[in-house]
Structure 1
């Protein structure tokens, strides 16, 4: 923070302790002044990794003062800010666009682009933690029933990539999205995660590709059922076998390449929620259901760890090879396992949920408790046939209608909104906690030969 840190902290504490004006423009002006003073000090001084202990303490105090001011501002003005950004709800902004527009329209409400650009070049442990401020903003938006519902519904709109690629997919029946491939086989859209270099551990690029693939499957009228499965691996231990997912890419997290908005919030509000609730193609004021929904099948040939296990909880039919397992090593990694805390207890019961999430238990497909997670457990060479049978039985208009009603009962929108509001901030805080930063570094620097090497 430089030699002027003590005076900067004192000045910020004085500004942030003052009552905020009641009107939005004046309150925004006060917030902008405090945030600019903080960012100027942060950007002018040494980067976080080069600060003395005293400078780190001072920086933390200054950031805390401004966050408290942002919290007070949002407690009063969130809905008005959201209305100005969305034209009183007439514009459907995706989360990344909403955050970007708020950064420009209300300077000081969120970290500036200059600060975020500086953050993007740093290792996770060397960042300022500006995403915590993004988490504050998203928590406030989702915390309001009106703006929260509007944002969640906006995230069900098709992505630009999905809309642009739909004609090609309808014509050819296949699209290669890099880490994800989608292929129409009969009435089924097979979405295959194919990043063998990291055992399908997810990063920002894979999340974006998955949402595009889900959009294509839901928008193509020639598709009746979606199937998600891991591709064939080249890893020595799993060479020639399919792996569903090794979870979040902890190497990428350590490097600073896992984003709060695009990855950790975007995957839950984006493609996973679309699997559950469908895609909204934008039918205007039609009396028909807003979203296009289809049944989904998941198949686990070997394992589904972390984010892979979270994804399983969104499917309508789950198939596993007898030697497969699932795990959610959230306590070991130190982060929150997406919406698994909301969903796992409903299907497996509270005790199993706590054993898996808090205790790190693996559940093997051959165990009795696996009956709560998997519908069909077969020998490893029988997964293909089980998938084909599931597609055939689920491809029915009556299934689609009953599924819609089941999802309304089992995944009601309001608890999801409330959960995601708190998740936005708690996950942001976990990203910059000392234990997570230490663990991701340890996972990255230690060479591992098994499936969790660098992933989780």
Structure 2
């Protein structure tokens, strides 16, 4: 079954297979870098999955060699140049994207098929179960381009891996191998590349076979116990992210990184 509403296939692919909604990030030539179109398509796909009775569980993965290489850096340059000209803040950061993921009531599983960088790493924190391939790595290089983290990561990451690891990973932006991520509880499981999708889909189908009400209630109860203050955290992150986007150092550091 294909999604029965507009979807930009240049950004994501979407299908429903055996009760499992499957979102595939679809900019493989750019390591699935996130742009405005992908943000809008993700919001639309998650909302569709929430409302569709045919979708029992949802899977998120990427096409090609990367899960998500972060935000499209070219867009950041355009945002800063537009801010200098008009003083208008960027619309790239949409609070509705993390909110639609965190409010999704059905089980959500991510299959990390390669590098998860920047928003690629913070996006997967909104998923309930995280499975990655051995070749995957994780990195949050926000400080390296003069930005602050987003997607509720400053709320969720310390609760997953603890304060010291959170600070190390966010301040250095270093690559975190899949085995280290597993040891620090960032992910649930590491598998070989060729069995990632069968593993993730098999788990999604199994969970989807259980009573929907029970699964939704379990997720709601666990999330409610952990997320007191998450909304305020996302609001603080948005404010800090937008302010950091306006600084000249961010523009220069993005240009420097793009020249590498």
The answer to whether the superposition gives a TM-score over 0.5 is: yes
2:71 to 235, 248, 253: 248
For the Cα contact (< 8 Å) 2:20–2:201, is it kept in 1?
no
In structure 1, the partner of 2:85 is: none
Using the alignment, how far apart are the partners of 1:254 and 1:372 within structure 2? 34
2:27 to 173, 195, 202: 195
TM-score, normalised to structure 1, is 0.52
Shift of 1:190: 0.4
Stretch deviating more after TM superposition (390-399 or 344-353): 390-399
DSSP 3-state at the match of 1:373 = coil
Shift of 1:301: 1.4
2:127 maps to 1:315: yes
In structure 2, the partner of 1:348 is: 161
For the Cα contact (< 8 Å) 1:179–1:209, is it kept in 2?
yes
How many residue pairs were aligned?
Answer: 250
Distance change in 2, residues 1:368/1:435 (3 Å): closer
2:250 maps to 1:440: no
In structure 2, the partner of 1:324 is: 136
Structure 1: runs of 5+ lacking an equivalent? 1-167, 233-240, 279-292, 449-456
Structure 2: runs of 5+ lacking an equivalent? 83-87
Which protein has the larger Cα radius of gyration, Structure 1 or Structure 2? 1
The structure with the largest strand share of the pair is 2
DSSP 3-state at the match of 2:127 = coil
The structure with the largest helix share of the pair is 1
Q: Which has the higher contact order (CA 8 A, sep 6+)?
A: 2
Query: Residue by residue, what CA displacement relative to the aligned partner does 1:252-308 show, whole Å, maximum 9, x if unpaired?
Result: 2112289956321x1xx3232222213xxxxxxxxxxxxxx1110101111100001
For the Cα contact (< 8 Å) 1:363–1:369, is it kept in 2?
no
For the Cα contact (< 8 Å) 2:11–2:25, is it kept in 1?
yes
Distance change in 2, residues 1:221/1:260 (3 Å): farther
Shift of 1:393: 2.9
2:92 maps to 1:276: no
Distance change in 2, residues 1:188/1:369 (3 Å): closer
In structure 1, the partner of 2:3 is: 169
Shift of 1:360: 1.7
In structure 2, the partner of 1:408 is: 224
Using the alignment, how far apart are the partners of 1:260 and 1:221 within structure 2? 38
2:239 to 425, 442, 445: 425
Shift of 1:386: 1.3
Distance change in 2, residues 1:262/1:368 (3 Å): closer
